[in-house]
Structure 1
Amino acid sequence: MNSVIISDYGVMLAKKGERLVIRGPKPRLELIEGGPQLFLALGIGAKRPTLTVLTSEGPKTPAPPLRRSAPDANGVKPPKKSPDEIELPLFRVGEIVIGSPGVSLSADLVEACCERGIRLSFLTRSGKPYAMLSSPMLTATVITRREQLAAYNDSRGVELAKSIVRGKLGNQASLLKYFGKYLKESNPPVYEELTALAKSIAKGRADTKRINGPNIDDAREALLSVEGLAGRTYWKGVRLLIPENLGFGSREHRGAPNPVNSALNYGYGILYTQVWGAIMNAGLEPFAGFLHVDRPGKPSLVLDMVEEFRQPVVDRAVIAAIGRGTAIETHEGMLTDDTRRTVASAVLERIESEVNFRGRRYKLKSVIQIQARNLASFLREGDSYRTFSFKW
């Protein structure tokens, strides 16, 4: 199933028969290879409709321009009368992410997406999710939500929050080790520092185990203290992996003008849509979290579950792209259109990649959905919940 990302102003989405139609001035179509499947990122701005394949190794391999012929092996239909239009078969679309203002879509398309379980997610240009459209009948469950709300006031909420923090710290340590191993010969001092920082973070995992309480309200402050200390240590390690000319001093969240922070924030926004959709498919309430406090408009459970996937999905993709020399550029404090497309491609390519999980090979996007269902089972039936661990 393909992911379609709309990242430019003036695009129109509609439905024609059983196909998704994308209209906009000079659309650019990119197919990014993620194993046997392909996903798509669409935008405008190319001089003519082009097709670019990005392999898992990173380099772009240009292909000939689209021609007026039959659909290709992936069902992509080249323009017929206008170079401003591209069509895709709906059965190959898994989600549509709209990351730009000025994008319009038809009611027929919304209905077709709801019927087929295709998520429609909306992001600001900085990557902050602000809406998601889906049919409520796809997750018309009650028991899971009842147990989720009840767990806030008993030990289940504490155990889940502890698992989230332990999993996040484990993945932070693993990511520093992952990038550090490539520096063991070329830069021993940095390798040694990264190793020491990873060990310090691992100590926080042991501290987490000793935190207890009758409910999450009694345990949250201690858990956030451990998480905060580990976070400062982790970002100190990340700073060693980022070229000094990019000016990455520390982790900043929304509104950060630094290009690295902006790229991370945009990548996290894409990850949020994946996790949010998985949570809804599992019959969970996105706004009733445990580690993150409740606040109107804050999808606390989404933020909880995102924690175990930040490092293996977004941080690894962005740091690796920078390490390959990919330009991360901003204009007036915002990522440029080309950079947003680059970051989206890197993050989606990582989401489509396969990893070892519970003794089998799965795509990361499948692991996200499996974990959402495991979380629902934990809340309903008391099954243990183990976070996804990034293998370095």
Structure 2
Amino acid sequence: MRHLLNTLFVTSQEIYLSLENENIVAWKGNQIVQRLPLLNLENILYFGHKGASPALLGACAKRNIGFCFFDMNGRFLARVSGTVRGNVLLRKMQYRLSDSDKESCGIARFFIMGKILNARTVLMRMARDHPLSVDQEKFTHIIKMFLRSASDAQTTSDTDELRGIEGNAAQLYFSVFDQLILQNKKSFYFQRRIKRPPADFVNAMLSFTYTILAHDCASALEGAGLDSYVGFLHRDRPGRESLALDLMEELRSIYADRFVLTLINNRLILPVHFQKKENGAVWLNDDGRKVLLAEWQKKKQTMIVHPFLQEKIYWGLIPYVQALLLARYIRGDMDGYPAFVGR
């Protein structure tokens, strides 16, 4: 259990929560492992299957404390809340901001600055750790260009211009992505980003991992009380969780791309884990998906220090923390949204 941002994160499958006076009591089997006062809590995010007592759920509803249930993979299941909830006002503010091009750009540029700076970090680490495997001159040039792009993203007030900055940065990043692959280059190579359908092993892994990350971000936004379908950079489209795509932008390279590269460079994913369709599309087969999903769960359980909160936290909780920070910014509780920028 972790207490961050007035939010209680329960990540153990074995924890059952009950109410004692004005305290949350965490049980593991017949043993009490922790007591925590309800006072000052805004949300409880519960990942597991043991659940909570009706008395605690009723107390949370009465005190307007959001209680959100997720499965162990982070998929949003349900929210328990009282008759009066700040989510209505939060979502109305989200919709108003989304309808304004100026306000949308003001929020979207945080996501894109985070995306560019994280891509820069990935390249810098590669150039530092494997100097003989990369084109140092080209990497140095792109790293400098990323600083300029991040500065341009910070100052623009036009969403279309922001998309252009993001597109140019992505093109630069993927132009050297193949140099980040260190093992089994005969099978795992990258020429360009191909989405629909992926035409090689690396693109297949990227597409699958981005899909998982988008689902995690959507669940996190629902847990924070935001509408995952109403975005700021990605505009409204029926059936598309646009705000989830916005939120995941800053996490693509530092979280998803690094994960894919680790699987390839550590030879955890092999050519036998893929299948090629008649139309040329390449997909992970059942065994490949099992390996990737198992490693994804391991990745989510690793600890890092959150760069803004300066608290140790599981990687898997990063989308949930970022969603809570975004909700606070939209409500006006923060002067800016602190995009996740890794090291």
Give TM-score, length-normalised by structure 2.
0.71
Note if 1:196 corresponds to 2:155: no
Q: 1:277 aligns with which of 219, 226, 235?
A: 219
Note if 1:220 corresponds to 2:159: yes
Q: CA deviation at 1:136?
A: 5.1
Number of residues of Structure 1 aligned to a counterpart in Structure 2: 269
What is the alpha-carbon distance in structure 2 between the residues aligned to residue 199 and residue 348 of structure 1?
Answer: 34
**Alignment-derived partner of residue 334 in structure 1:** 283
**Alignment-derived partner of residue 190 in structure 2:** 248
AA paired with 2:69?
G
Q: 1:355 aligns with which of 304, 311, 325?
A: 304
Q: CA deviation at 1:227?
A: 0.4
Q: 1:385 aligns with which of 317, 320, 337?
A: 337
**Alignment-derived partner of residue 90 in structure 1:** 49
What is the alpha-carbon distance in structure 2 between the residues aligned to residue 363 and residue 256 of structure 1?
Answer: 30
Give TM-score, length-normalised by structure 1.
0.63
Q: Given the superposition, is the C-alpha separation of residues 350 and 312 from structure 1 closer, same or farther in structure 2, using an over 3 Å criterion?
A: farther
AA paired with 1:90?
H
Spell out the pairing of 1:100-179 with structure 2 (5 A cutoff).
117-119=69-71, 134-135=77-78, 137=80, 141-154=87-100, 155-179=102-126
Q: CA deviation at 1:347?
A: 2.6
CA contact (8 A) 1:198 1:234 kept: no
Q: CA deviation at 1:119?
A: 4.0
Moved over 3 A (4+): 119-122, 136-140, 153-156
Instruction: After superposition, give the CA deviation of every residue in 1:63-89 in whole Å (9 maximum; x if it has no partner).
Output: xxxxxxxx9xxxxxxxxxxxxxxxxx8
CA contact (8 A) 1:211 1:222 kept: yes
CA contact (8 A) 2:91 2:226 kept: yes
Counterpart secondary structure, 1:376? helix
AA paired with 1:345?
A
Counterpart secondary structure, 1:135? strand
**Alignment-derived partner of residue 33 in structure 2:** none
What is the alpha-carbon distance in structure 2 between the residues aligned to residue 345 and residue 250 of structure 1?
Answer: 27
Q: CA deviation at 1:158?
A: 2.0
Spell out the pairing of 1:29-108 with structure 2 (5 A cutoff).
90-91=49-50
Where do 5+ consecutive residues of structure 1 fail to align?
2-36, 40-70, 72-88, 93-114, 123-131, 213-218
What is the alpha-carbon distance in structure 1 between the residues aligned to residue 320 and residue 76 of structure 2?
Answer: 18
AA paired with 2:118?
N
Q: CA deviation at 1:390?
A: 1.2
AA paired with 1:365?
G
What is the alpha-carbon distance in structure 1 between the residues aligned to residue 189 and residue 340 of structure 2?
Answer: 31
**Alignment-derived partner of residue 173 in structure 2:** 234
CA contact (8 A) 1:318 1:347 kept: no
Counterpart secondary structure, 1:245? coil
Counterpart secondary structure, 1:388? coil
What is the alpha-carbon distance in structure 2 between the residues aligned to residue 300 and residue 250 of structure 1?
Answer: 24
Q: CA deviation at 1:372?
A: 0.5
CA contact (8 A) 2:69 2:79 kept: no
AA paired with 1:205?
A
Q: Given the superposition, is the C-alpha separation of residues 323 and 191 from structure 1 closer, same or farther in structure 2, using an over 3 Å criterion?
A: farther
Instruction: After superposition, give the CA deviation of every residue in 1:328-349 in whole Å (9 maximum; x if it has no partner).
Output: 5321332122221222233332
CA contact (8 A) 1:163 1:386 kept: yes
Q: Given the superposition, is the C-alpha separation of residues 201 and 371 from structure 1 closer, same or farther in structure 2, using an over 3 Å criterion?
A: same
What is the alpha-carbon distance in structure 2 between the residues aligned to residue 371 and residue 117 of structure 1?
Answer: 18
How many percent of aligned residue pairs carry the same amino acid? 23
Counterpart secondary structure, 1:117? strand
**Alignment-derived partner of residue 374 in structure 1:** 325
CA RMSD for the aligned pairs?
Answer: 2.7
Q: CA deviation at 1:323?
A: 1.2
Where do 5+ consecutive residues of structure 2 fail to align?
2-10, 14-28, 30-47, 52-66, 277-281
CA contact (8 A) 2:204 2:283 kept: yes
Q: CA deviation at 1:156?
A: 3.5
AA paired with 1:246?
F
Q: CA deviation at 1:116?
A: 7.4
